[in-house]
Structure formats: structure tokens, C-alpha cells
Amino acid sequence: MNGFKWCLSWLIVIGVFGSSLAFGASILSLTTNPASGAISGAPGQTVGWGFTLVNSSDNFAVISSADFCGAVISSPCSTPLGSFTDFIAQFNFTVINPHSSLSNVFNPVTHTGIGSYAIKPTAVPGSSFLGQVVLTYDTFIDGSFLNQIGFDDRVTSAASVSVPAAAAPEPASLVLLSAVLVGLCLSSRRWKIGRT
């Protein structure tokens, strides 16, 4: 019977420890800037996302990588409209303290925000790609970053990139253009008649 109690005690400890690890996997929440996650740009243009991260735990979270992927996360992620560059981990040491939040805007010059997305010069106007921003982070007990308790946890947020369709002229613009062309034709005709 003592062996049974000993096993039961260890199962309880393992269950409590396991549930705390599962909780550790979701200590961060991510909101992109813009909040919809939808960004757009012309072919050849570079666009990107800002962020707000909220840490709801007693531990420190350190961002280790960022990517922009499709519905299925692969490594490396590839998207049809261009390529992603990680700013939040590659150019910055980003730490979210316990019970706090951190926000940053996208700026391609200072390398701030989640990252940039370079739209291919050959991207077709009117095309779009729906995916998700994926942040990978590690969790530490204290600010010395020596006691790590979480490895490669992920937080995601829906995001998309689109290339606007070429703008069609408005009907009023077409009427004005037609009037200008008719006026030019008539004045050219009068000028020829006056010279002869």
C-alpha cells in the first residue's frame, strides 16, 4: 500500500508540474498594429507590423524569433508575395516583464516592430496572402535570465498582406478627359483652317 501512495503522490506532482508548463505556453498575448493584422503595399514596397505584447505571468518572456507564415507553420515559412525580415528578435533583445505589456510601432529605418515584409516587384496587383505572425519566446523565472523554465513557446496573431488592384479611372475623370480631348481637336482644326 505504501508503494501505491508513493506512486499516487508522484502522479499528482507530475500533473501539477505538467499543468504549470501548459500554462506557461500561453503567458503572452499578441496584438498586431494595425489591429486587424492587414497590411498592403505596391509591388517592390516594404511594409510591416507593429505590436503590443501582454505578459500575464510571474515570469519574464524573451522573444527568440518572429516569422510570417501561412495557416500551417513551417520552418522556414515561405509566402508567395514576398519575404519577411524579423526585427523583434534579430535586431532587438525584446523582454516582456512579468504582469506588464510592451508596444512598438513598425519603423523600417530603426528596425522596430515585429518585422518587415518586402513585397516582390513581380507581385500581381489585386493579389493577397492570408497568414499569421508567429512569435517564439522563452520563459525565465527572474531577470538574470539564468533560470529558464519555458523553451520555444509560441504566440500567434492573424495577419495578411495584399497588393492593391490598379485604380480604375472614375467616371467623372473620363468625362473630363473626353471634354479636354474634344476641345483640343476642335482648336487644332480651327488653327488649321485659319492658316489656309
Task: Tell me if 37 sits within 8 A of 106, measured CB to CB.
Answer: no
Q: Is residue 9 part of a domain?
A: no
Q: Is residue 14 part of a domain?
A: no
Q: Is residue 104 part of a domain?
A: yes
pLDDT at position 76, please?
Answer: 76
Task: Tell me if 88 sits within 8 A of 106, measured CB to CB.
Answer: no
Q: Residue range 85-110: average pLDDT?
A: 96
The residue range of the domain holding 66 is 28-190
Name the domain count of the chain: 1
22: pLDDT confidence band, cut at 50, 70 and 90? very low
- How many Cβ atoms from other residues are within 10 Å of residue 55's Cβ? 21
Residue 20 in this model has a pLDDT that exceeds 50:
no
Q: Across all residues in the chain, what is the average pLDDT?
A: 81
pLDDT at position 10, please?
Answer: 38
Q: Is residue 8 part of a domain?
A: no
The CATH number given to whatever domain includes residue 68 is 2.60.40.10
As a whole number of angstroms, the distance between CA 45 and CA 76 comes to 22
143: pLDDT confidence band, cut at 50, 70 and 90? confident
Residue 146 in this model has a pLDDT that exceeds 60:
yes
Residue 82 in this model has a pLDDT that exceeds 60:
yes
Task: Tell me if 125 sits within 8 A of 119, measured CB to CB.
Answer: no
Q: Is residue 196 part of a domain?
A: no
Query: What cell does 174 get?
Result: 473620363
pTM of the model: 0.71
Q: Is residue 195 part of a domain?
A: no
Residue 177 in this model has a pLDDT that exceeds 80:
no
Q: Residue range 69-93: average pLDDT?
A: 89
pLDDT at position 13, please?
Answer: 33
Q: Is residue 6 part of a domain?
A: no
> What percent of the chain clears pLDDT 70, i.e. is strictly above it?
71
User: What does the pLDDT look like over 34-45, one tens digit per residue?
Assistant: 999 999 999 999
Q: Is residue 154 part of a domain?
A: yes
The highest-confidence range among 3-12, 71-80, 182-191, by mean pLDDT, is: 71-80
Q: How does DSSP classify residue 142? A: S
